[in-house]
Amino acid sequence: MTATGRQSEDIPAHAFAADLIAVLVAVTAGRPRVMTIDHGAALPSGPFAHDERSLQSGLRTWVERQTGHRLGYVEQLYTFADRDRATNGVRVISISYLALTRENREEAGKSGWLDWYSYFPWEDHRSGAPRHLPDIVARLRAWTKAATVPAQRHDRLRRVAISFGLDGRPWNEELILQRYELLYEAALVAEASRGRRGADAPLVSGQSMAFDHRRILATGIARLRAKIKYRPVVFELMPPSFTLLELQHAVEALAGRLVHKQNFRRLIEQQELVEETGAMAAATGGRPAKLFRFRREVVDERAVIGTKLPLTRA
Amino acid sequence: MTATGRQSEDIPAHAFAADLIAVLVAVTAGRPRVMTIDHGAALPSGPFAHDERSLQSGLRTWVERQTGHRLGYVEQLYTFADRDRATNGVRVISISYLALTRENREEAGKSGWLDWYSYFPWEDHRSGAPRHLPDIVARLRAWTKAATVPAQRHDRLRRVAISFGLDGRPWNEELILQRYELLYEAALVAEASRGRRGADAPLVSGQSMAFDHRRILATGIARLRAKIKYRPVVFELMPPSFTLLELQHAVEALAGRLVHKQNFRRLIEQQELVEETGAMAAATGGRPAKLFRFRREVVDERAVIGTKLPLTRA
DNA sequence: TGATATATACTCACATTGAGTATAATATCA
DNA sequence: TGATATTATACTCAATGTGAGTATATATCA
């Protein structure tokens, strides 16, 4: 990946290549999954064709052809054109997208759908704070102490404390990108020491990805975690009918946190986001649950699913 | 596939040009201003140079050179590559940005700084609903009736009602883009009939712009109106010291709505976003006001300026 | 039968928010 | 000089929203 950036005489100054990168998300059996290629080493990406009508349609046709999934929701994430994004001297502009699709139980096992927490194990707080989180924090603390100037040290300490919810601060699941960036700066993830040498600090657990794809994934997760709080996008990930507990589990999978069951139902019902199908779920243990469907009519009415999700404290 | 290596030697197949477009905002004397070129006919834009480090740095250097302003805050808006964005057969990718800068009283009059409400007169509700708003709504209603199928007619009616706060619905200042798009679809803005002929419905007041620049401006305003509610970005538009009323006026200029003065102050103070400078403002009428400065340290702490702004009802 | 698991209804304390009243401190002008 | 306008700032209050918990209903399974 040597980016010479040298523009030869024959390449016009405005020659760029355009790439689309997708963070394609589904929730299967209560687990948040992301579509990957190359055995989980990269996000699916491909060139933006010259004959496509628009970026969005380019992404749609390409992803739908490749995965056989209809995309429910598509949203632009970010556009990069950093100098190291170049191949054969042609500089690449990468436009990343977040796309949501319905789960597909037949495909659940195979293909490239991976639990996104295998890339960010420290982000799953559904069973309390992960066991290795104290160790991560300890190593970040060590890194803050290695700062050269006191001001820098102070700044690092503050960022770590905010991002990881230290000193009585609450854990904020939306800060996933900030946490990843701290780990990157502290060279605790494999991507950070790529290309360099000697930097062999023991790494934090969690699978890495090629290029900056793990960073893009973090961006997508952050956007989604923020969005479910004020837009009814969870439903794009649900099957046509579902129980309220299944819906809750989907939200919890995305947020990486547990929500208060009774208050969650209150929220959903008072927003009139769903309606009963009349049928009941095949019993899965206790009292049978009603099946609901999403009231799609309500999408543009309800800008908000609720200012906040009813999270549980502990 | 980026991950698996690009094998094409033929550069022309993916030759794109890259353009940066800026929605550069300032607030001068309580008026929201946007930087324009060509006597207000377009947003400033320029090619992304091959030798720039990144998109963001490209935008910064270019805007700062062109306007002499230091950019306080920069945020990516959206990337377009629609087929009609082509020059000499070279397809153009446009990356739009929102950028905030401090007011500059010397420049207030000259240069291309224009009140953004000259492009969206119906968006300024600081002195109540604009006089011509009923007329706009009436013309949109007429357009809904012109729908061919009943379902379409119903859909249009609903969108108009939501976007313009009809039937008891509240006015939502963040829906500026949706409102503009409705006016575009109804061919009530000049841009809509460009290139076509015969479509000479009487237009709604408000200056138009070249290309889709007015749409990009609406996107930027929408983003900013949403952002001031949960991030302390207003301060990027303020001088180093200011009174609370000046701060309030800036917020009102952006939101296009009045806020409740006492509650606004309560919000600002309880969030500890500002501190007294010790000095007082040169009296401008009544009791002299304390001067405040923004506590920049607090930026990453306070993710939120308050879940909502304390708007006034009437 | 009772242990267990889920569904669902309701209560309650507390914080937040929208709105308004009251009072203080200055400038302006008749 | 004193009335009036204008802005600043401190409080109060009702309504609503939010976090948390209790209670009860309806299943399965040992």
Tens-digit pLDDT profile for residues B33-82 = 999 999 999 999 988 877 788 899 889 888 887 777 778 899 999 999 87
CATH code of B242's domain = 1.10.10.10
Look at residue A36 and tell me whether its pLDDT is greater than 80: yes
CB spacing of A95 vs B79 below 8 angstroms: yes
Give distance CA A289 / C1' C1 (Å). Answer: 25
Using alpha carbons, select from B170, B303, B48, B76 the residue that is nearest to residue A301.
B170
- The DSSP code sequence of A231-285 is S--GGGGS-SSB-HHHHHHHHHHHHTS-B-HHHHHHHHHHTT-EEEEEEEPPP-S
Q: Is B90 exposed, middle or buried (0-12, 13-18, 19+ CB in 10 A)?
A: middle
Which residue bears the tokens 């249009």? B156
A106-110, A240-244, B10-14, B180-184: least confident range: B10-14
Tokens of B283: 């009296």
SS3 content of chain A, % helix, strand, coil (to 5): 35, 20, 45
Give distance CA A282 / C1' D30 (Å). Answer: 21
* Shared-domain flag, residues B104 and B181: no
A99-103, A149-153, A270-274, B196-200: least confident range: B196-200
Question: What residues are paired with B28 via a beta bridge?
Answer: B31
CB spacing of A18 vs B81 below 8 angstroms: yes
The DSSP secondary-structure symbol of A122 reads G
Domain presence at residue B285: yes
Instruction: Give the mutation candidate from B10, B50, B94, B305 for the A interface (greatest A CB count, under 10 A).
Output: B50
Domain boundary among B53, B83, B118: B118
Using alpha carbons, select from A185, A134, A184, A179 the residue that is nearest to residue A160.
A179
Q: A95-99, A106-110, A291-295, B200-204: which has the highest mean pLDDT?
A: A95-99
In the 241-260 segment of chain B, residues within 7 Å (Cβ) of strand C are 260
Give distance CA A127 / C1' D24 (Å). Answer: 27
Look at residue A108 and tell me whether its pLDDT is greater than 70: no
* Shared-domain flag, residues A113 and A137: no
- Chain B residues touching residue A301 (CB < 8 angstroms): 162
Number of domains chain A contains: 3
**Which bases of chain D are contacted by protein, using any atom under 7 A from a CB?**
5-11, 17-22, 25-28
Structure confidence at residue A33 (pLDDT): 94
Structure confidence at residue A128 (pLDDT): 87
Using alpha carbons, select from A143, A135, A220 the residue that is nearest to residue A186.
A143
Domain presence at residue B55: yes
Tokens of A19: 């790439």
End-to-end CA distance of chain A: 45
Q: Is the CB of A288 under 7 A from strand C?
A: yes
Domain presence at residue B1: no
Low-confidence stretches of chain B (pLDDT < 50) are 1-13, 304-307, 314
CA–CA separation, B251 and B264 (whole Å): 10
The C-alpha of A169 sits at a distance from chain B's nearest C-alpha, in angstroms, of 10
Structure confidence at residue A1 (pLDDT): 31
**A57: containing domain:** 16-118
Structure confidence at residue B6 (pLDDT): 38
Using alpha carbons, select from A116, A135, A96 the residue that is nearest to residue A40.
A116
Q: Are strands B90-100 and B16-28 parallel, antiparallel or unpaired?
A: parallel
Structure confidence at residue B305 (pLDDT): 42
Residue type, B249: H
Element (H, E) at B59: helix B55-67
Q: Is the CB of B261 under 7 A from strand C?
A: no
SS3 content of chain B, % helix, strand, coil (to 5): 35, 20, 45
* Shared-domain flag, residues B32 and B53: yes
Structure confidence at residue A200 (pLDDT): 59
CA–CA separation, A304 and A271 (whole Å): 9
pLDDT, mean of residues A139-159: 94
* Shared-domain flag, residues A135 and A105: no
Q: What is the CA radius of gyration of chain A?
A: 21
* Shared-domain flag, residues B141 and B179: yes
- Chain B residues touching residue A83 (CB < 8 angstroms): 52-54
Look at residue A9 and tell me whether its pLDDT is greater than 70: no
* Shared-domain flag, residues B74 and B109: yes
Question: What residues are paired with B33 via a beta bridge?
Answer: B26, B115
Q: Is the CB of B310 under 7 A from strand C?
A: yes
Q: Is the CB of B263 under 7 A from strand C?
A: yes
CB spacing of B16 vs A13 below 8 angstroms: no
* Shared-domain flag, residues A106 and A138: no
Element (H, E) at A291: strand A290-294
CA–CA separation, A63 and A52 (whole Å): 13
CA–CA separation, A194 and A211 (whole Å): 9
Q: A103-117, A183-197, B141-155: which has the highest mean pLDDT?
A: B141-155
The DSSP secondary-structure symbol of B99 reads E
Facing residue for B11 by CB, picked from A11, A76, A174? A11
* Shared-domain flag, residues B113 and B140: no
Which residue bears the tokens 């009918």? A241
Question: What residues are paired with A22 via a beta bridge?
Answer: A97
**Which bases of chain C are contacted by protein, using any atom under 7 A from a CB?**
4-11, 16-21, 24-28
Domain presence at residue A51: yes
* Shared-domain flag, residues B201 and B130: yes
CA–CA separation, A27 and A32 (whole Å): 5
CA–CA separation, B305 and B235 (whole Å): 11
Residue type, A247: L
Query: In a 3-state reduction of DSSP, which class is residue A219?
Result: helix
CA–CA separation, A39 and A24 (whole Å): 15
Look at residue A259 and tell me whether its pLDDT is greater than 60: yes
Structure confidence at residue A7 (pLDDT): 35
- Chain B residues touching residue A41 (CB < 8 angstroms): 3
CA–CA separation, A157 and A164 (whole Å): 11
The C-alpha of B257 sits at a distance from chain A's nearest C-alpha, in angstroms, of 19
Element (H, E) at B267: helix B261-270
* Shared-domain flag, residues B94 and B172: no
Domain presence at residue B311: no
Domain presence at residue A282: yes
* Shared-domain flag, residues A36 and A81: yes
pLDDT, mean of residues A210-220: 96
Mean pLDDT of chain A: 84
pLDDT, mean of residues A62-76: 82
Closest chain B residue to A21 measured between Cα atoms?
B2
Look at residue A286 and tell me whether its pLDDT is greater than 80: no
